[in-house]
Structure 1
């Protein structure tokens, strides 16, 4: 009886959270109230997301009202305009209304998906965003997938061999790249690989998404050629954060008793890492990965501007320089909404990774 009990305890501790959940044990039963706790958890997260979205609508309206510049004057492109014409334009775009009335109309339209008409382009904001969104999704989507995978892999290896030469080199390079401004790194890459000052001039184009003289598979290669430098810029700056978070989380797990027991049973080191340590270190990294996915819609304003990439980041820069209030507000709502959605998905995923969450 005593030996059987001891064996069962060791097995539960070794299998631990990585395989059967944080409490260990193969015959796990749901705690009382678990079935009702998760729906309440989901409802709370959905309510928090709705409040956050409302806060975004309020912020996007009032924040950009303090941006210097006269949007009506910008609409005329600086051409001589009579006071009567200026008043007509203000009335046409509702800028003559009291601020509170502008706000209520803006919220009512935004909740129905109407983000207004761009002052600069004289087109619906939703159409402008839909036109530029694919380019941003391509650029930042490729970059986020690469640097999330790279950060997870290097962070795991760095933590598992902490203190070694590889760990010191990997962490040092990550800290250096994390501190480098993205636009500055992008300019350096253009100098060295595009304009002819560096050792390999003309290897990549200086900007844009395509050359405009190819089709079919040649077009795909052309776009991929233009993608290289901006993707390298985003990956170099972005992977460090995922690496450092994963490394820190895994280091916290490495002293746990269940890992010691798993090693005592004779399990291979790679198996202990893959099946027990890494799954329990994933929660903070999952948050980071989903935040990075939220950045996919927002793009990178500075990188897209440096490389003249025709995406939402460059469009936001154009709108802010006018200022084009409906376009700026619409883009801000889309960017923030993407982040809120990704954080919500991460919160809903937590109970699947760790059953203790949501109880």
Structure 2
């Protein structure tokens, strides 16, 4: 009877654990949906209260009569009541219609899709590089706390983190693109690829890699401290746990204790940070794209501010916000899988 009762309890507890994660995932999905709705509301009203008249801005003085201004407002739906504009905005957003760019005269969705891939290539590559190097620095620094390597790596990471990205980018351009002293100019000063290069060919791919070297290094150095310091702090918290002492008592070597036990548990906060930073890949690094003239979402937003191009600004804000919310949802779900304590 005791064995039967124990098996019944075990059978009941397994679905409970599954249901626990199911409820946790469902609550996080509803939370993300609520954030998306709130973001849509903010996006609509934020760009409606911005100063300036889109019709007069686009006309550049050409709309000299009230009839011309009225025709423009009718074309873009600006003459409708605000609630009706909001409903139209929701309908168009759900169908992928983000309006027509006032500057480029093309659909904003097409413009964003065209500019998104350079940003993903730039910021995605730099994030991956910063993650690998930063996690390695954090692990080695924490395992040898107080050593010369730990002090130098921590100090260097904090120094790079304190530098503005645009300033660091300009320094790299001055040294490695223009040339300084005995150092010749090795890389282009900006752009995604040369004018005469075919991006789909092998020579074009190599040319693109050469153009992206300095921007990627700039962002990787700026993000390095995030991963290095969080990984170092997480691993230091794990070093005093009893399970590491038990692992050593079983005869495991120091490297095995670190890699098999300590590092796996310390990676949880870093996993969350990686997922969250992936969301910022969509928004891009505005300053770096501007300094290096990379035709991504960051530079597009900068150009739209100069007009101002309301529909492009609204579209880039929507895409960037949705990317961060989606990445936050993925981070929460992954964390719930890795650490069951989070579910409760």
> Would the TM-score normalized by the shorter structure come out above 0.5?
yes
Q: Higher mean Cα deviation, 301-310 or 349-358? A: 349-358
Counterpart position of 2:252: 267
SS in 2 for 1:194: helix
* Aligned counterpart for 1:189 among listed residues 162, 172, 178: 172
TM-score, normalization by structure 2: 0.91
Deviation string, structure 1 residues 256-308 (Cα, Å, up to 9, x no partner): 01111112222111111111111111221111101111122111111101111
Number of aligned residues: 332
Deviation string, structure 1 residues 67-104 (Cα, Å, up to 9, x no partner): 33332222124546333212211221112223333222
Matched-pair contact (CA < 8 Å) for 1:152–1:243 = yes
SS in 2 for 1:224: helix
Is 1:42 matched with 2:43? no
Instruction: Describe how 1:324-335 pairs up with structure 2 within 5 A.
Output: 324-335=309-320
Matched-pair contact (CA < 8 Å) for 2:118–2:296 = yes
Is 1:255 matched with 2:240? yes
Counterpart position of 1:56: 39
Is 1:114 matched with 2:102? no
Counterpart position of 1:88: 71
Q: Distance in 1 between matches of 2:118 and 2:303?
A: 16
Q: Distance in 2 between matches of 1:231 and 1:198?
A: 24
Counterpart position of 1:244: 229
Provide the aligned C-alpha RMSD in A.
1.9
Deviation string, structure 1 residues 38-70 (Cα, Å, up to 9, x no partner): 111111011001001111111112223333333
Matched-pair contact (CA < 8 Å) for 1:175–1:240 = yes
* Aligned counterpart for 1:178 among listed residues 133, 143, 161: 161
Matched-pair contact (CA < 8 Å) for 1:67–1:323 = no
Matched-pair contact (CA < 8 Å) for 1:136–1:311 = yes
Q: Distance in 2 between matches of 1:32 and 1:76?
A: 64
Is 1:205 matched with 2:172? no
**1:66–1:192 CA distance, 2 compared to 1 (3 A):** farther
SS in 2 for 1:357: helix
TM-score, normalization by structure 1: 0.87
* Aligned counterpart for 1:153 among listed residues 136, 145, 167: 136
* Aligned counterpart for 2:208 among listed residues 204, 217, 223: 223
With a CA cutoff of 8 Å and minimum separation of 6, indicate the structure with the bigger relative contact order: 1
Matched-pair contact (CA < 8 Å) for 1:182–1:303 = yes
